[in-house]
Amino acid sequence: MNEIKIFSPATVANVACGFDVLGFCLDSVGDDMVIRKVDKKGIRISRIEGFELPYETEKNVAGVSALAMYNAIDVDFGFEIEIYKRIKPGSGIGSSAASAVGSVFGMNELLGRPFNKTQLTEFAIKGEALASKCEHADNLAPALFGGFTLVKSVVPLKILEIPCPNDLYATIIHPQIEIKTSEARAVLPKEVPLADAITQWSNLGSLVHGLHTSDYDLIKDSLKDVIIEPHRSKLIPFYNEVKNEVLKAGALGASISGSGPSIFSLSKGLETAKTVKEAMKTVYAKSGIDFDIHVSKINTKGIKIID
């Protein structure tokens, strides 16, 4: 096999109370990528469609993660990467992570899978860091593993796969404005009050327990963020209005997707997830800001080969 086409999914990081550690994978939105073995040594980005991104390997997220893997192997050939980008950069649903994991996943397949998914995440972290100026894996891990993942630690990298209740659906609104992850990180305080930390880790623990036991009431009671949301929500137009309407429509909870501006909600059942979509639409239709909305079952498989 000399060429492979893959679907690299969008992801939701943080999931309210799990800043930088928790994430889940979507199945209705993602990028396509083609990875090809070529005679010329090295990594080359040969095609980019969808959004304007740099072709220089060292300046492209997919290129940087590919180089990290390439430098760890000894081969007398190279790779070309085509990116068909559908996830808008700066949208908050793991655009850079999809690029970062796509190149290394595809290369690994063409090489006969010498690396496991945790090792692939290690390479992809280098690409993600180019975009967000910090090494975190809460979008990368769910894109590669699928479902919900918890990044137990980055050094050494340890990723836990968390079970996903069958009837859990996500609705995500993506206002067409850009918030750079690096900027959304810059507005966060360096220290947090102990009382807030206690609330946050109690919610994270109970959310993970709720996911393990398919306890939708507990999931609902735990989807809260007292540390990050108060700072970042100010960057997102109509954030509080969307959240209020979504909760009225029956969602289990709603919060900022990654570093925003996307807002995600989780619902029990597809019907409720669709009702939530209408609620989001009603708020944003009056805003004058373009938006799109995705309803998605949680993607438990993650990145996949499509050709």
In the complex, which residues of this chain contact ligand HSE (CB under 6 A)?
13-14, 19-20, 132, 136, 138-139, 181, 184-185, 258-259
Kindly report the number of other CB atoms within 10 A of residue 50's CB atom: 14
Rank residues 131 and 298 by Cβ distance to ligand HSE and give the closer one.
131
Which element (helix H / strand E) includes 250? none
Collect all residues with Cβ–Cβ distance below 8 Å to 75 and sequence separation of at least 6. 41, 111
Rank residues 132 and 275 by Cβ distance to ligand HSE and give the closer one.
132
Rank residues 259 and 272 by Cβ distance to ligand HSE and give the closer one.
259
Shortest separation between residue 232's beta carbon and ligand HSE, angstroms: 8
Shortest separation between residue 188's beta carbon and ligand HSE, angstroms: 8
| Separate counts of helices (H) and strands (E) for the chain | 10, 11
Shortest separation between residue 205's beta carbon and ligand HSE, angstroms: 18
Shortest separation between residue 250's beta carbon and ligand HSE, angstroms: 26
Q: Which two tokens stand for residue 88?
A: 């808008």
Determine whether 82 is an active site residue.
no
Which of 11, 149, 171, 181 is catalytic? The answer is 181
Shortest separation between residue 244's beta carbon and ligand HSE, angstroms: 22
Rank residues 180 and 297 by Cβ distance to ligand HSE and give the closer one.
180
Which of 128, 149, 229, 272 is catalytic? The answer is 128
What's the CA angle centered on 79, arms 35 and 64, to 5 degrees?
A: 90
Shortest separation between residue 304's beta carbon and ligand HSE, angstroms: 22
Whole-angstrom CA distances from 128 to 82, 131, 224 are 18, 5, 26
What percentage of the chain's residues is helix, strand, coil (to nearest 5)? 40, 25, 35
Q: Which two tokens stand for residue 170?
A: 């996500």
d(CA 132, CA 299): 24
Measured over all CA atoms, what is the biggest interatomic distance in the chain, rounded to whole angstroms? 59
Determine whether 181 is an active site residue.
yes
Kindly report the number of other CB atoms within 10 A of residue 67's CB atom: 21
**Dihedral angle over CA of 60, 61, 65, 68, nearest 10:** 50
Rank residues 14 and 121 by Cβ distance to ligand HSE and give the closer one.
14
Identity at 171, one-letter amino acid code: T
Rank residues 136 and 224 by Cβ distance to ligand HSE and give the closer one.
136
Whole-angstrom CA distances from 222 to 15, 101, 218, 253 are 10, 29, 6, 8
Whole-angstrom CA distances from 206 to 17, 105, 224, 241 are 10, 32, 11, 26
Shortest separation between residue 78's beta carbon and ligand HSE, angstroms: 29
Rank residues 44 and 185 by Cβ distance to ligand HSE and give the closer one.
185
Which residues belong to the active site? 128, 181
